[in-house]
Amino acid sequence: MPAAAQSLKLFLAGDVMTARGIDAVLPHPGDPRLHEPYLKDAGGYVRLAERLHGPLPRPVDYAYIWGDALEDLERRRPQVRLINLETAVTRRGRPEAKGINYRMNPANFPAILAAGIDCCVLANNHVLDWGREGLADTLATLARSGIACAGAGRDRQAAEAPAVLPLADGTRLLVFGLCTPDCGAPASWAALARRSGVAHLPDLSVQSLDGLAERIRAHKRPGDRVIVSIHWGGNWGFEIPQEQVRFAHGLIDQAGVDLVHGHSSHHIKGLELYHEHLILYGCGDLLNDYEGIQDYGVYHGELGLLYFPTLDAEGRLLALDLVPTHIHRFQLGHAGREERRWLFETLGRECANRGCSLQPGSGHSFALSW
């Protein structure tokens, strides 16, 4: 079969945080009580957003939060849609003593389905906010909905196993989910042989890379394409630690990974083309309820990107389209002219000397060139 017939178009996004304020405006709000020092009621986040941008309709329908993104998804028709779902999906559990605890009501999970999401990465620092009961409910909700997941499971074997997504050409896409301590996921959340949890990577050392590479090779078959989706680093700051660069390069060189999907920062970070393979160091937040909380300053956490990479039959990058977005009234919209300019200039600066550059794309999008 010609390589062109085997190309794979993806939709990738950073953190999707459909808890607290967003859950409060969906058709089935969960328990609004919060256990954090800033606010004690999820409705407070709604009121902050309304103070800044005016009244929100309540309840909104399930598709509301995706806004303009639905049009972009329909136009591009990616074969696989992958997000980092950064919340527990549960009514149960006890809040972990960590200051902020995210959860959405399982009855509101159709809001995730409204975007046709195929796979949710769960290896992050909020999926166990309501303990292992909350994780069990999250896993059960995804399973009932037919959504694949990676990075968390009922035991270590399940948490470390990839999501396996069959493709129309008879090949498979494997998605491995991982998180590191510096993203805020405590070591106690790590899945063990007889304990549920996340696929927790203790560090980015050579030893960790060797073990992960061995695991990936054990699952990979000829023709498979592989994504490693990793929640790493802090919330703010454009700098990319050299250990992340080394680890990402090692995944491609040593483990045969085709694309590295990094997230955790609340804003976009640089990306790289390495040996014709795409590395996204930080995709930023796609959806959150942070409107009205704070001034994002130089980071503009309210601005984001929809990532649409196309891979060839060998996993090499053929194209990358980037659609600039902003969050307004808990809904994704196309970024305005000045917002697009900021995103274009910032991402261009952060990609400098990383094997690629940005060009204006069709409509309001950007395109990667190399």
Specify the DSSP element, H or E, that contains 321.
Answer: strand 317-327
pLDDT at residue 115 in the model: 98
Q: Which two tokens stand for residue 71?
A: 């049009």
Q: For the residues of 100-149, what is the DSSP string, one character each?
A: ---EE-GGGTHHHHTTT--EEE--SSSTTTTHHHHHHHHHHHHHHHT-EE
pLDDT at residue 6 in the model: 86
pLDDT at residue 3 in the model: 40
CA atoms lying within 13 Å on the CB side of residue 194: 0
- Distance CA(257)–CA(259), nearest Å, equals 6
List the chain residues with pLDDT less than 70: 1-5, 294-296
Residue among 310, 302, 304, 210 nearest 263 (CA):
304
Provide the whole-model pTM: 0.96
pLDDT at residue 361 in the model: 87
Residue among 112, 15, 106 nearest 64 (CA):
112
Radius of gyration of the chain (CA): 19
pLDDT at residue 136 in the model: 98
In the chain, what are the domains? Answer: 3-369 (3.60.21.10)
What is the tens place of the pLDDT at every residue in 41-54?
A: 999 999 999 999 99
pLDDT at residue 5 in the model: 42
pLDDT at residue 38 in the model: 86
Q: Quick count: other Cβ atoms within 10 Å of Cβ 297?
A: 9
Between β-strands 366-369 and 103-104, what pairing exists: parallel, antiparallel or unpaired?
unpaired
Instruction: Evaluate whether 149 touches 120 at the Cβ level (below 8 Å).
Output: yes
Specify the DSSP element, H or E, that contains 344.
Answer: helix 337-351
